[in-house]
Amino acid sequence: MNPVYPIIRLRGRGEWLAGRDGVVLAFFIHRDHSEVGPAVWRSIQAYRHAIPPGSLNWYTSADGDMVPLDDEGWEHNRHVVIERIGGGSRTVELRESPSETGNYQVEYYGRRLDSPIHDAPATTLSFTFPTEYLLEHGAVQLRALAMELARELPFNFGYASFAIVSSRGSWAAADWNQVESLLARYPGLDIPHAGEFSSRLGDRALSASWLTFLGQPLLGALGGIHVLKDALSFPDVSLLPMDGERLLVTLNEWPDPIDTEKAAVPAQYGALAHLLEPFTFQYSGKDLIPYESDMNKWLRRLLQ
């Protein structure tokens, strides 16, 4: 039987949709964008063919405006990802709507590891799905698609989670009291911000998730697959080795928002969070702004 998921609709000023329930799939690649462009583009094309036709309608142009995504637009984005080798950052944003959060979105932030303007860059690729896609196709098929999208990516870290799906972290523009209430009740609920973490994550990790992708050097720093097998010997957990010294950890049959009004945090989530703790991103410094302090606490929400 399919699980029951909370219906989330977060509104910004003017009642535009700032965030909704769904699944986010994100990969963080500790490589220069020039090394991974073709693999990233093939992953984007695989996503395009897996979602309903016409789901991606707009993209961010070279001028920073949202413009209709036609054949010329696809060629422009292919050129950004693959052809423009060298130089600074690369950005591709494909959306369903030009102004609101949509069901299907792609965010790609190609970084240079020696970038002087990013603290700890990581080339980042993120996809979203509405909850309806998950319930229609099932968790097994979505997991298989996640593996296909990851197949050629030399990721350091990646994850798939039930989430507040948003455009460029626009969930932060919603009523913060509502966001805080959701996060307090559902510690399995992710609040993705691919652009922010692409500038800061480096070769570190975020939190444990339904699907947690581990690559080098992170997997080696954790002790490898044998250490993970011993630490995650729970009935619901599976570990699947992938080519290129990579690993997929699955913590549940379905993505779990973890409704703490009904049940405690599953032990396997806490166990993986503890393993990742020494490598989990944190904002540092003496004078953190409230957002940074709150994010530091949220990233360690599964530690008990």
What integer is the mean pLDDT of 222-244?
Answer: 96
What integer is the mean pLDDT of 154-183?
Answer: 89
Within 10 angstroms of residue 218's Cβ, the number of other Cβ atoms is 21
Q: Name the pLDDT band for 176 (thresholds 50, 70, 90).
A: confident
Q: What is the pLDDT of residues 7-46, one digit of tens each?
A: 999 998 888 888 899 999 999 999 999 999 999 999 999 9
Whether the pLDDT of residue 240 is over 80: the answer is: yes
Q: Rounded mean pLDDT of the chain?
A: 93
Whether the pLDDT of residue 85 is over 70: the answer is: no
pLDDT of residue 117: 83
pLDDT of residue 43: 98
Sign of CA dihedral 8, 40, 108, 250: positive
Whether the pLDDT of residue 304 is over 80: the answer is: no
Q: Name the pLDDT band for 118 (thresholds 50, 70, 90).
A: confident
- Greatest mean pLDDT among 116-130, 204-218, 279-293 lies in 204-218
CB-facing half-sphere around the CA of 25: CA atoms within 13 A: 26
What integer is the mean pLDDT of 100-115?
Answer: 92
pTM, 2 dp: 0.96
pLDDT of residue 168: 81
Q: Which structural domain, as residue segments, surrounds residue 50? A: 22-299
Q: What is the pLDDT of residues 40-81, one digit of tens each?
A: 999 999 999 999 999 999 999 888 889 999 999 999 999 999
* Spatial separation of the C-alpha atoms in residues 77 and 257, rounded to whole Å: 33
Q: Give the residue ranges of DSSP H helices in the chain.
A: 33-50, 71-78, 131-137, 139-150, 176-185, 194-198, 218-221, 225-231, 267-276, 290-299
Question: Is residue 240 included in any domain, yes or no?
Answer: yes
As for how many domains the chain has, the answer is 1
Does residue 66 contact residue 58 with C-beta atoms inside 8 Å? yes
**What phi, psi does 113 have (nearest 5°)?**
-65, -20
Whether the pLDDT of residue 140 is over 70: the answer is: yes
pLDDT of residue 86: 58
Whether the pLDDT of residue 213 is over 70: the answer is: yes
Question: Is residue 4 included in any domain, yes or no?
Answer: no
Sign of CA dihedral 46, 32, 65, 161: positive
Question: Is residue 11 included in any domain, yes or no?
Answer: no
pLDDT of residue 87: 65
Q: Name the pLDDT band for 88 (thresholds 50, 70, 90).
A: confident
Question: Is residue 5 included in any domain, yes or no?
Answer: no
* Burial (0-12, 13-18, 19+ Cβ within 10 Å), 253: middle
Q: What is the pLDDT of residues 216-228, one digit of tens each?
A: 999 999 999 999 9
Residue with the bigger pLDDT between 113 and 279: it is 279
Percent of the chain's residues with pLDDT above 90: 77
Question: Is residue 140 included in any domain, yes or no?
Answer: yes
Q: Name the pLDDT band for 115 (thresholds 50, 70, 90).
A: confident
Whether the pLDDT of residue 244 is over 90: the answer is: yes
Does residue 183 contact residue 189 with C-beta atoms inside 8 Å? yes
Question: Is residue 201 included in any domain, yes or no?
Answer: yes
The tokens of 151 are what? Answer: 């197949």
Residue of 188, 190, 206, 164 lying closest to 27 (CA atoms): 206
Question: Is residue 6 included in any domain, yes or no?
Answer: no
Percent of the chain's residues with pLDDT above 70: 98
Question: Is residue 2 included in any domain, yes or no?
Answer: no
Q: Name the pLDDT band for 197 (thresholds 50, 70, 90).
A: very high
